[in-house]
Amino acid sequence: MAEYRILPLPGYAPTIGRLVAMLNDVRQTTLKAVEGLTCEQLDHLHDEQSNSIGALLAHMAAAEREYQILTFEERQPTAAENDAWSAPLKLGDKGRREIRGHELQFYLDELRRIREATLAALAEHDDVWLEAPLRIAPNLNAHWAWFHIAEDEINHRGQIRWLRARLR
Amino acid sequence: MAEYRILPLPGYAPTIGRLVAMLNDVRQTTLKAVEGLTCEQLDHLHDEQSNSIGALLAHMAAAEREYQILTFEERQPTAAENDAWSAPLKLGDKGRREIRGHELQFYLDELRRIREATLAALAEHDDVWLEAPLRIAPNLNAHWAWFHIAEDEINHRGQIRWLRARLR
**Predicted complex ipTM:** 0.94
- pLDDT tens for B111-162 read 999 999 999 999 999 999 999 999 999 999 999 999 999 999 999 999 999 9
Burial of A143 (0-12, 13-18, 19+ CB in 10 A): buried
Which residues are within 8 A (CB) of B48 and not within 5 positions of it... i.e. 6 or more apart?
none
pLDDT at A25: 96
- Name every residue whose Cβ is closer than 8 Å to that of residue B107 and which is 6 or more positions away in sequence: B34, B42, B54, B57, B58, B61
Q: What is the pLDDT of residues A74-132, one digit of tens each?
A: 999 999 999 989 999 998 899 899 999 999 999 999 999 999 999 999 999 999 999 99
A chain contacts of residue B29, beta-carbon cutoff 8 Å: 151
Helix (H, G, I), strand (E, B) or coil at B149: helix
pTM, to two decimals: 0.95
B166 vs A49: CB contact, 8 Å cut-off?
yes
Question: Over 90: is that where the pLDDT of A2 sits?
Answer: no
Cβ(A137)–Cβ(A70) under 8 Å?
Answer: yes
DSSP A9: -
Distance from CA of A2 to the nearest CA of B (A): 7
Three-state DSSP class for residue A134: strand
Asked which of A7-16, B1-10, B54-63 is least confident by mean pLDDT, the reply is B1-10
Cross-chain residue pair A25–B131, CB shorter than 8 Å: no
Q: Which residues of B touch A25 (CB under 8 A)?
A: 144, 147, 151
Contact criterion met (CB < 8 Å) for B154 and A151: yes
Least CA distance to B128: which residue of chain A?
A7
| The residue count for chain B | 168
pLDDT band at B79 (very low <50, low <70, confident <90, very high): very high
The bridge status of strand B137-141 relative to strand A133-134 is unpaired
Distances (CA, A) of A95 to A88, B60, B159: 6, 31, 19
Phi, psi of B46 (to 5 degrees): -65, -40
Q: What is the mean pLDDT of chain B?
A: 95
B138 phi, psi to nearest 5 deg: -70, -10
Fill in the amino acid letter for B123: A
The pLDDT of residue B1 is above 80: no
Report the amino acid identity of residue A37: L
Q: Please name the residue of chain B whose CA is at the shortest distance from the CA of residue A131.
A: B7
Which of A22, A139, A151 has its CB closest to that of B2? A139
Q: List the single best residue of B46, B136, B151 to mutate versus A (max A Cβ within 10 A).
A: B151
Q: Band of the pLDDT at B168, cuts 50, 70, 90?
A: confident
Helix axes A14-34, B142-164, angle to 10 degrees: 50
Q: What distance in Å separates the CA atoms of residue A106 and residue A52, rounded to the nearest whole number?
A: 15
Pick from B1, B3, B6: CB nearest A143: B6
Cα distance between residue A45 and residue A47, in whole Å: 5
Over 80: is that where the pLDDT of A1 sits? no
